[in-house]
């Protein structure tokens, strides 16, 4: 595991973007696993800036997103499809037919989750998976549990995640209670993983993730077992090291 300590959020975003940019430069038709949440927004902004300067070409890139709220349509401004479209896809030359986000409107969760696993398999797996970190150690929407989930599945969001995400909704009642997410097994199959973590409120959990025992109670701790993980965290998030 490589750990890069960035001075602040801006430097974190530049470092993370440069790792994604190298992946795209080295393999123009790579499969990028993408993430939502506030942490990767600066990374996406930096990629857009380099694209606008003519330094990056996303025309052959394919993407798969980690997760999506169950029940939200693509045009709902809180859906992860909407997030990805507005924070990245519409600003670059990626082919929208080559972007994938679980379909939150599919009520048959087993069917949608196995379809999504098949999509990832048919693309030949993920070259680089970007991850943010939840305050409870979740990655994607893999919440603390008794065991690591293997494949894409439907999850009941924990109260703490609902609380953390209510800032984006008009009221807590509007926060979906379920989501479709890649499993820990799906994530761990990615060839390379890039975890971005920012802020003092993530310092304790980042310490548990990197230095504590590997346990499904701290889902991201499983990353200790992956052979190609890069962590980019700012000084505030690294405060416990
Ligand atoms: C959500 C997403 C996660 C993300 C997490 C942390 O729950 N499903 O993929 O990592 O939020 O988000 P933030 O970066 O805003 O702290």
DSSP of 76-113: STTSHHHHHHHHTGGGS---GGGEE---TT-S-HHHHH
Mean pLDDT, residues 66-77 taken together: 96
Atom of ligand 1 nearest to the CA of 181: 8
Per the structure, how many domains does the chain have? Answer: 1
pLDDT on residue 38: 95
Q: For residue 32, give the nearest of 191, 151, 214 by alpha carbon.
A: 191
Has residue 163 been placed in a domain? yes
| CA dist 188 → 78, 94, 150, 193, 225 (Å) | 27, 25, 9, 8, 9
Whether 198 has a pLDDT exceeding 90, the answer reads yes
CATH value at residue 79: 3.40.50.1360
Compute the distance between CA of residue 220 and CA of residue 201 in angstroms, rounded to an integer.
16
Compute the distance between CA of residue 33 and CA of residue 126 in angstroms, rounded to an integer.
6
Compute the distance between CA of residue 220 and CA of residue 70 in angstroms, rounded to an integer.
22
Which residues are catalytic, by number?
A: 67, 136, 138, 143
Atom of ligand 1 nearest to the CA of 40: 14
Has residue 241 been placed in a domain? no
Tens digits of per-residue pLDDT, 160-174? 889 988 988 999 999
pLDDT on residue 150: 97
Is the C-beta atom of 104 inside 6 A of ligand 1? Answer: no
Q: Can you give the residue range of the structural domain that contains 226?
A: 1-236
pLDDT on residue 165: 87
CB atoms within 10 A of CB 122: 8
Closest protein CA for atom 6 of ligand 1: 134
Structure tokens at 64: 């798969």
Atom of ligand 1 nearest to the CA of 196: 14
- What is the best residue among 42, 70, 138 to mutate for testing ligand 1's pocket, by most ligand atoms within 8 Å of CB? 138
Tens digits of per-residue pLDDT, 5-42? 999 999 999 999 999 999 999 999 999 999 999 999 99
């Amino acid at each position: 595991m490589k750990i890069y300590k960035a001075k602040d959020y801006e430097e974190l975003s530049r470092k993370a973007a440069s790792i994604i940019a190298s992946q795209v430069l080295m393999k123009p038709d790579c499969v990028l696993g993408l993430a939502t949440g506030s942490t990767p927004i600066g990374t996406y902004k930096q990629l857009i800036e380099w694209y606008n300067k003519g330094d990056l070409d996303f025309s052959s890139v394919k993407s798969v997103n980690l997760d999506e709220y169950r029940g939200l349509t693509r045009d709902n401004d809180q859906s992860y499809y909407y997030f990805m479209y507005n924070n990245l896809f519409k600003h670059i030359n990626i082919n929208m037919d080559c972007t994938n986000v679980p379909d939150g409107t599919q009520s048959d969760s087993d069917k949608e989750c196995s379809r999504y696993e098949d999509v990832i398999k048919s693309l030949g797996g993920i070259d680089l998976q970007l991850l943010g970190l939840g305050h409870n150690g979740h990655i994607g929407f893999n919440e603390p549990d008794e065991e690591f989930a293997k494949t894409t599945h439907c999850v009941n969001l924990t109260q703490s995640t609902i609380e953390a995400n209510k800032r984006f909704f008009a009221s807590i009642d509007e926060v979906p209670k379920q989501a479709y997410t890649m499993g820990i097994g799906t994530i761990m199959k990615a060839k390379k993983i890039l975890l971005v973590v920012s802020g003092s409120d993530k310092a304790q959990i980042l310490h548990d993730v990197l230095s504590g025992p590997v346990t499904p109670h701290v889902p991201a701790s499983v990353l200790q077992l992956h052979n190609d993980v890069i962590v980019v965290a700012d000084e505030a998030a690294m405060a416990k090291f």
